[in-house]
Amino acid sequence: MRVIAGRLGGRRLQAPRGRTTRPTSDRVREALFSMLGDVQGADVLDLFAGTGALGIEALSRGAAKAVFVERDAAALRALAANLAALELIEPTARIRRGEARVALQTARERDETYDLFFVDPPYGEARAWARELSVALPPLLAPQARVIVESDRRAPLELETVLEGALETEQQRRYGDTTITIHRHR
């Protein structure tokens, strides 16, 4: 696994062993960022960050800052090692250890908003997150924000009534068993 493009393009990323963390493949990340286009200056929230590959790719391509949310200890070690190896430090890159729920609540309490949201929960938990994310995300959306959802095509994470009309589906693509859906804030 590596950073695809940008100032860090070609640099390798670590991933923990086992099946607990499922990093987005290079092929899917390349296609996703091709769909997204320019991310220059974006503030990014990478929920369920795992190795941080999506947020790191955004930073490599010019995003202003990224907050990485992860609870798994092995994934956190890989994420911290990746950020250190790439010399991505605060305030550009920040790790919030713990549950996504808590991180979303913290962001709301701090009146944070983001331009890009990467939402990639464990495939087995994706549907369970639909309602909670549909309630938690709207206050965090900057104008024209995009929410990128990665999920298993057999059990997709579908944001309820596309966040009650706050988001519209811009694009959806399938790569093997993975579905990528890009929503844009109205």
Give the tens place of pLDDT for each residue, 128-160: 888 888 888 989 999 999 999 998 888 878 876
- Rounded to a whole number of angstroms, the distance between the first and last alpha carbons of the chain is 34
Query: How would residue 12 be classed by pLDDT, with cut points 50, 70 and 90?
Result: very high
**Calpha distance 136→134 (Å, rounded):** 6
Q: What is the CATH number of domain 26-185?
A: 3.40.50.150
Tell me the whole-structure pTM to 2 decimals: 0.92
Query: How would residue 164 be classed by pLDDT, with cut points 50, 70 and 90?
Result: low
* The two structure tokens encoding residue 41: 């200056």
**Calpha distance 172→157 (Å, rounded):** 12
What is the tens place of the pLDDT at every residue in 105-127? 999 999 999 999 999 888 778 77
- State yes or no: pLDDT of 19 exceeds 70: no
**Calpha distance 168→186 (Å, rounded):** 7
Per the CB < 8 A criterion, the answer to whether 53 and 24 are in contact is: yes
Q: Where are the domains of the chain?
A: 26-185
Phi, psi dihedrals of residue 79, rounded to the nearest 5°? -60, -50
What is the tens place of the pLDDT at every residue in 93-106? 999 999 999 999 99
What is the tens place of the pLDDT at every residue in 30-70? 999 999 999 999 999 999 999 999 999 999 999 999 999 99
Query: Within 13 A of 120's CA, how many CA atoms are on the CB side?
Result: 29
* Beta pairing partners, 146: 116, 184
Q: What residue type is assigned to position 137 of the chain?
A: L
**Calpha distance 1→13 (Å, rounded):** 6
**Of 135, 133, 142, 124, residue with least CA distance to 99:** 133
